[in-house]
Amino acid sequence: MSDKPVVFSGIQPSGTLHIGNYYGAVRRWAAEQGHNFNIFCLVDMHAITVPQDPAELREKTLETAAILLAAGIDPQRSALFVQSDVGEHAQLAWLLNGIASMGQLQRMTQYKEKSAERREQSTVGLFTYPLLMAADILLYRTNFVPVGADQKQHVELTRDLAQRFNATFGETFVLPEPTIPALGARIMGLDDPTKKMSKSGGRSGHAVGVLDSADAIKSAIMSAQTDSGSEISIDRDRPGVSNLLSIYIAATGTTREAAEQHFAGKGYGTLKREVVDALVAELAPLQARYAELRASPDHLRALLTRSATAIRPIAQQTYADAKRAMGLGLGSPGGQE
């Protein structure tokens, strides 16, 4: 393995990738590839913690791979693979079941939110989700995990588990750090700017998908909820306008000060129109590249399989180390499995 810092991150290949995923995570993954050893994972085993249609999940896995490549993930510089192709993810997650406490998992905000309405019916996988995520990260001796703000708590849990494992069984895991963008870490729903934009938001007007047509983007942004008043600035008490302005800043790459100055004295209609233009300008070239990549599914499958083959030995080694440290299996005098 190279001595560059290891960056690992994942995305669920369910629903349609939206601009929250893009600005909170994917665009940064692509931009920062040069300096690191990069591994990006389509976490299909996380996706099945809520019901999925099998054929659709397989389609979405290829779709998400093509979107990531279209967004600039370069297979020469980054591994891009499907989680279920490397069995050690599930195996290490099981070992972590023996370390994590119920209380720790019960405190996870994502679990509380996702299971709130139907706790008894929600899957066990939804509860132990963070352990699979911890396994993803720890298997590759990851230093940095670029994620949106909603995943910070899971990366911190991963760090705690690694620390506890190392203290109990000997130095095995590297302690990862989350990296969260200063802006775009939490893009909010357009229909309700007090709630995070999410793939499961489902309602029309909730999210902008990165594959949405210019018309769909226009209709979602123009009908986005705004606030009373007319000032255009980032302000905790004005979540609708703050969200639109954050999207504008993320899409144009301008600064908060410059954006606030640019919109001084202008109305919400102008802000919305300029957000639409900025999003269309950014997403149209991505969509053109996506269409080309998606037209060659065999090429996508081959690329994903090649990546899984390339990184599997790292996962196997870490899993073998963890297994041995915990006293599992018969081991061998040389310490190799």
Comparison of 8 and 263: residue with beta carbon closer to ligand TYM? 8
Choose which of 92, 96, 133, 322 interacts with ligand TYM (CB under 6 A): 133
Per-residue tokens: 63:
């779709």
Min separation Cβ 15 and ligand TYM, Å: 8
Among residues 9 and 252, whose Cβ is nearest to ligand TYM?
Answer: 9
Residue 172: closest CA among 181, 164, 180: 164
C-alpha 275/C-alpha 279 separation (Å) is: 6
- Told to check if 239 binds ligand TYM by CB under 6 A, we report no
From 185, 244, 245, 250, residue interacting with ligand TYM (rule: CB under 6 A):
185
Please identify which of the residues 4, 60, 199, 218 carries the catalytic annotation.
Answer: 199
CB atoms within 10 A of CB 331: 13
Provide the 3-class DSSP secondary structure of residue 75: coil
Task: Tell me how far apart the alpha carbons of residues 50 and 236 are, in angstroms, rounded to a whole number.
Answer: 32
In angstroms, the CA 259 to CA 318 distance is: 46
- Which one among 150, 160, 192, 277 touches ligand TYM, defined by CB under 6 A? 150
Q: Which residue has the tokens 């590249």?
A: 289
Apex CA 54: angle with CA 52 and CA 60, to 5°? 80
Tell me whether residue 4 is one of the annotated catalytic residues: no
Among 6, 7, 11, 92, binds ligand TYM (CB under 6 A): 11
C-alpha to C-alpha distances, 34 to 28, 37, 310, 336, nearest whole angstrom: 11, 8, 19, 34
Q: Which two tokens stand for residue 76?
A: 């020469």
Residues numbered 34-93 forming contacts with ligand TYM, rule: CB under 6 A: 43, 46
Among 100, 147, 190, 286, binds ligand TYM (CB under 6 A): 147
The stretch among 9-17, 116-124, 159-167, 232-240 that binds ligand TYM (CB under 6 A) is: 9-17
Which range in 143-151, 226-234, 274-282, 311-319 contacts ligand TYM by CB under 6 A? 143-151
Quick check: helix, strand or coil at residue 82?
Answer: strand
Is residue 139 within the footprint of ligand TYM (CB under 6 A)? no
Q: Which stretch binds ligand TYM (CB under 6 A): 30-38, 182-190, 226-234, 321-329?
A: 182-190
Provide the mask over 193-232, with x wherever binding to ligand TYM is found by CB under 6 A and - wherever it is not.
Answer: ---xx-----------------------------------
Distance from CA of residue 9 to its chain's centroid? 6
C-alpha Rg value of the chain to the nearest Å: 21
Whether 196 is catalytic is: yes
Q: What is the rounded distance in angstroms from the CA atom of residue 50 to the CA atom of residue 337?
A: 35
Stretch that binds ligand TYM, among 4-12, 71-79, 111-119, 240-248 (CB under 6 A): 4-12
Does 141 bind ligand TYM (CB under 6 A)? Our answer is: no
Q: How far apart are CA 270 and CA 290, in angstroms?
A: 30
Interface contacts to ligand TYM, rule CB under 6 A: 8-12, 20-21, 24-25, 43, 46, 133, 136-137, 145, 147-148, 150-151, 185-187, 196-197
